């Protein structure tokens, strides 16, 4: 932190911004407690208990709030206007604290150039992607792997090689709908692609066929199993209430268990069984998209609040939405306020009250705390709150999730 120390002979260092008086929660850097954060030229230059306010052009008062690294959401869909699922990142970033968005599989080879140009290059939020094995990506709701002609490993390899600055891994959704009778072949091809480009593979599970046995056999340490707490027939908890031995072994070797809450993929029953066995998810992500943003997922802070109320500590929850997803993306420079890092920050109030949270099956749990984002900074600048576009005409929640008469927290 040498840069943050006042220069000798009385000349004090100047900053653009100081975020003052907040409780810093940065588990990745091991920083906690009341600290000021000094920012210059879009980077964090000091995190110290007391930095004189007079040294900054602007002071953001954060007393009574927690200050975290900007959240890193490992499972999002932000290809608005070109896919069934995509929402726009920036308006949601400004009200949730999510500063790094990993879009997982919205683009395959054919619609990748548009993602790069119209989403990644125009968003103020930091955007990265996992490339879909299927060349058509997620233009339609499902079926993308059912035509093996669209699973072109050579073409996808070329796209990755030309875009390694943004493409951090490979995505394949493996369930009955996406594969439609072609079996496990698409996952074998995704495995081949990920090995060839030496990047992590994120596999989505839900309801087979293919079976979870077939899926797990093709996973490797460093890969990401998303929707890991699904209540579908790919559930990783056996009938005896214990996690499957193969998943447990692979997890111990480095498989990353990622929540990816979404519309259909988070079950309190599975989450409680796993936590009871001492197996917390490695990453808590939203799977935010046209449907899930309407509830009961809503957004990443709401998803994090569910885990707070399941008994996880605040630092454990924040770590799973900052340092850990950054590491899963092989970008350990993100998700931290360590001096020298990009100045992506989120401010939250921890509100106390009586709240009801629901999983994908609408099972309810009650909680006494929730995280509410109050401000989000990217590259040291506050993101403006922006109106959000209306949902697409097809974006209707499944019948059982429509909120009529449900006592939602907002
Ligand atoms: Zn998803």
* pLDDT value for 101: 98
Query: What is the Å distance from ligand 1's center to 298 Cα?
Result: 14
* pLDDT value for 3: 47
3-class secondary structure, 405: coil
Measured distance CA(66)–CA(22) in Å, rounded: 6
Query: What is the Å distance from ligand 1's center to 133 Cα?
Result: 14
* pLDDT value for 400: 87
Measured distance CA(19)–CA(85) in Å, rounded: 35
Query: What is the 3-state composition of the chain as percent helix, strand, coil, each rounded to the nearest 5?
Result: 25, 30, 45
pLDDT band at 11 (very low <50, low <70, confident <90, very high): low
* pLDDT value for 257: 97
Query: What is the Å distance from ligand 1's center to 86 Cα?
Result: 10
Tell me the mean pLDDT in the region 263-272: 94
pLDDT band at 305 (very low <50, low <70, confident <90, very high): very high
Query: What is the Å distance from ligand 1's center to 260 Cα?
Result: 7
Measured distance CA(343)–CA(112) in Å, rounded: 28
Summarised one tens digit per residue, pLDDT across range 112-147 is 999 999 999 999 999 999 999 999 999 999 999 999
Q: Choose among 280, 125, 261, 278: nearest CA to 204.
A: 261
Query: What is the Å distance from ligand 1's center to 85 Cα?
Result: 8
Query: What is the Å distance from ligand 1's center to 288 Cα?
Result: 7
Measured distance CA(309)–CA(340) in Å, rounded: 34
Is the pTM here over 0.75, yes or no?
yes
User: Per DSSP, what are the bridge partners of residue 364?
Assistant: 358
Query: What is the Å distance from ligand 1's center to 173 Cα?
Result: 8
134: DSSP letter: B
User: Per DSSP, what are the bridge partners of residue 38?
Assistant: 18, 46
CA 176 from centroid of its chain's CA atoms: 24
Q: Among positive and negative, which fits the CA dihedral 375, 379, 380, 385?
A: negative
* pLDDT value for 241: 86
Query: What is the Å distance from ligand 1's center to 337 Cα?
Result: 28
Summarised one tens digit per residue, pLDDT across range 96-110 is 999 999 999 999 999
Q: Choose among 279, 230, 288, 234: nearest CA to 256.
A: 279
Q: What are the backbone angles phi and psi of residue 366, rounded to the nearest 5°?
A: -105, 150
Query: What is the Å distance from ligand 1's center to 41 Cα?
Result: 34
Average pLDDT, the chain: 94
Query: What is the Å distance from ligand 1's center to 367 Cα?
Result: 26
Query: What is the Å distance from ligand 1's center to 119 Cα?
Result: 17
CA 275 from centroid of its chain's CA atoms: 20
Q: Choose among 311, 309, 307: nearest CA to 324.
A: 307
To 5 degrees, how large is the angle CA 400–CA 402–CA 408?
Answer: 110
Higher per-residue pLDDT: 134 or 241: 134
Query: What is the Å distance from ligand 1's center to 137 Cα?
Result: 12
* pLDDT value for 403: 62
Measured distance CA(183)–CA(167) in Å, rounded: 27
pLDDT at 12 over 90: no
* pLDDT value for 194: 98
To 5 degrees, how large is the angle CA 340–CA 328–CA 255?
Answer: 150
Tell me the mean pLDDT in the region 212-229: 97
Q: Among positive and negative, which fits the CA dihedral 13, 17, 22, 26?
A: negative
Q: Choose among 261, 324, 305, 264: nearest CA to 287.
A: 261
Measured distance CA(286)–CA(288) in Å, rounded: 5
Query: What is the Å distance from ligand 1's center to 76 Cα?
Result: 6
pLDDT more than 90, % of the chain? 92
Q: Report residue 4 as tokens.
A: 């943050």
To 5 degrees, how large is the angle CA 336–CA 308–CA 95?
Answer: 60
Measured distance CA(129)–CA(170) in Å, rounded: 8
Higher per-residue pLDDT: 4 or 16: 16
pLDDT band at 8 (very low <50, low <70, confident <90, very high): very low
Query: What is the Å distance from ligand 1's center to 293 Cα?
Result: 12
Q: Distance of CA 279 to CAs 157, 229, 240, 252, 274, Å?
A: 35, 11, 15, 10, 5
Query: What is the Å distance from ligand 1's center to 47 Cα?
Result: 35
Measured distance CA(25)–CA(34) in Å, rounded: 9
Tokens 């920012």 correspond to 39
Measured distance CA(123)–CA(108) in Å, rounded: 19
pLDDT band at 402 (very low <50, low <70, confident <90, very high): confident
Measured distance CA(294)–CA(250) in Å, rounded: 34
8 A C-beta contact, residue 304 and residue 284 = yes
Summarised one tens digit per residue, pLDDT across range 148-204 is 999 999 999 999 999 999 999 999 999 999 999 999 999 999 999 999 999 999 999
Query: What is the Å distance from ligand 1's center to 75 Cα?
Result: 6
* pLDDT value for 280: 94
Q: Distance of CA 213 to CAs 227, 230, 242, 264, Å?
A: 16, 15, 16, 21
8 A C-beta contact, residue 201 and residue 169 = yes
Q: Among positive and negative, which fits the CA dihedral 393, 203, 122, 304?
A: positive
240: DSSP letter: T
């Amino acid at each position: 932190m040498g840069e943050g120390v006042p220069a000798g002979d009385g000349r004090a260092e100047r900053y653009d911004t100081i975020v003052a008086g907040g409780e810093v929660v940065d588990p990745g850097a091991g920083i906690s407690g009341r600290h000021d954060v000094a920012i210059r030229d879009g980077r964090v230059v000091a995190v110290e208990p007391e930095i004189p306010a007079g040294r900054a052009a602007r002071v953001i008062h954060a007393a009574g709030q927690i200050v975290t690294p900007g959240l890193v959401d490992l499972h999002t869909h932000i290809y608005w206007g070109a896919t069934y699922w995509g929402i726009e990142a920036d308006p949601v970033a400004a009200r949730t604290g999510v500063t790094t968005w990993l879009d997982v599989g919205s683009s395959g080879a054919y619609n990748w150039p548009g993602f790069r140009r119209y989403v990644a290059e125009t968003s103020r939020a930091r955007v990265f992607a996992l490339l879909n094995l299927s060349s058509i990506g997620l233009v339609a709701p499902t079926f993308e792997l059912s035509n093996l002609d669209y699973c072109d490993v050579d073409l996808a390899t070329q796209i990755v090689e030309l875009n390694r600055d943004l493409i951090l891994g490979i995505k394949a959704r493996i369930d009955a709908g996406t594969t439609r009778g072609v079996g496990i072949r698409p996952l074998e091809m995704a495995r081949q692609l990920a090995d060839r480009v030496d990047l992590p593979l994120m596999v989505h599970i839900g309801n087979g066929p293919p079976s979870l046995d077939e899926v797990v056999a093709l996973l490797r340490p460093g890969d990401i199993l998303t929707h890991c707490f699904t209540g579908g027939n790919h559930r990783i908890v056996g009938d005896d209430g214990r996690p499957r031995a193969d998943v447990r072994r692979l997890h111990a070797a480095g498989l990353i268990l990622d929540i990816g809450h979404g519309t259909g993929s988070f079950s309190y029953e599975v989450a409680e069984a796993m936590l009871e066995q001492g197996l917390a998810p490695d990453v808590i992500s939203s799977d935010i998209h046209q449907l899930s943003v309407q509830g009961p997922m809503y957004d990443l802070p709401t998803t994090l609040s569910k885990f707070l109320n399941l008994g996880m500590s605040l630092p454990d929850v924040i770590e799973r939405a900052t340092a850990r997803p950054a590491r899963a993306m092989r970008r350990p420079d993100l998700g931290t306020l360590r001096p020298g890092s990009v100045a992506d920050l989120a401010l939250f109030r921890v509100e106390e009250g009586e709240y009801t949270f629901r999983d994908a099956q609408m099972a309810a749990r009650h909680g006494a705390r929730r995280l509410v984002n109050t401000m989000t900074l990217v590259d040291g600048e506050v993101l403006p709150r922006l109106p959000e576009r209306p949902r697409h005409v097809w974006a209707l929640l499944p019948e059982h999730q429509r909120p009529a008469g449900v006592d939602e927290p907002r």
